[in-house]
Amino acid sequence: MRVTHGRLSAPRSGIRSWWGKAWQRAVEEAAYVDQDLRAGRTAARRGDVGGISVDAGSLLAAVREGDDTWTVEIGLPALPEEERRALVDVVAAETGRIAALLAGELPYDFVEHAEEAGIELLPFGGELSAGCTCDAYLDPCRHALAVLVQTGWLVDADPLVLFALRGLDRDSLLHALHERASGALSTSGVVDLADDVEVAADAMLRARRLVELMEAGAELPEGLV
């Protein structure tokens, strides 16, 4: 299911997470020319990238440069069905993993266990393919790199964006967990459990956002209080 994220602003504290930094390393590996990477980072911070559309195996965004606008499409291999099922098993293997993911955390041991099961969740540079409507000779060009840099901000804040790129979006993951647990619990019980987890995760996200706003001295919106 394709989901479009609105225009992003650069995170004040930079990339905070180990998985966000792993994504940025993959972007650095994918870049052929340091000059293009620097230009891409500058364009990302300047806000030249429009809304980023995320789907299984692809990213799509428009990038503004002066009076021109270019369309960028990024490819990342989606997991085959067998590996998606195995990934669901890894999520379900330990209590608290789905709550952590819904709260914007990606446990390191979870990624290790996924790799032991033959599942590569985090990308490496060679997996990131790119196309752009500009006339640059090399791909990824500076526009594609700007999109990749901003996607790193999305992944840093919500690792389920990475799951969606690999072919297992949030709703599909929850549904698969429901199906997996249906042999042990009634369907209503599973749904209630998932709902409780989502409520708890939402409370954690609201608390984190309140702390960030308070530290920045910003006015607190009514919806978060």
- Phi/psi class of residue 9: alpha, beta or left (left: φ > 0; alpha: ψ in -120 to 50)? beta
Q: What pLDDT sits at residue 224?
A: 44
Residue 200 pLDDT > 70 = no
Mean pLDDT to the nearest integer, 146-155:
97
Query: Quick check: pTM over 0.85?
Result: no
Residue 222 lies in a domain: no
**Does 224 fall in a domain?**
no
Q: How far apart are the first and last CA of the chain?
A: 31
Total number of domains in the chain: 1
Q: Which amino acid makes up residue 61? A: A
14 to 18, 21, 187: CA distances (angstroms): 12, 10, 42
Is 9 within the bounds of a domain? yes
* Res. 198 pLDDT band, cuts 50 70 90: low
Domain that holds residue 62: 3-217
Residue 19 lies in a domain: yes
Indicate whether 106 belongs to any domain: yes
Q: How confident is the model at residue 133 (pLDDT cuts 50, 70, 90)?
A: very high
Per mean pLDDT, which of 1-5, 132-136, 192-196, 204-208 is the most reliable? Answer: 132-136
| 35 belongs to a structural domain | yes
* Contact by Cβ (8 Å): 52, 155: no
Residue 81 confidence class, pLDDT cut points 50, 70, 90 = very high
Q: Rounded to an integer, what distance in angstroms lies between the CA atom of residue 197 and that of residue 83?
A: 25
Residue type, 121: L
Cis peptide before 140 (omega within 30 of 0): yes
**For residue 215, what pLDDT is reported?**
53
Would you say residue 195 lies in a domain? yes
Give a yes or no: residue 223 inside a domain.
no
**Is the per-residue pLDDT at 189 higher than 90?**
no
- The pLDDT confidence band at residue 2, using thresholds 50, 70 and 90, is confident
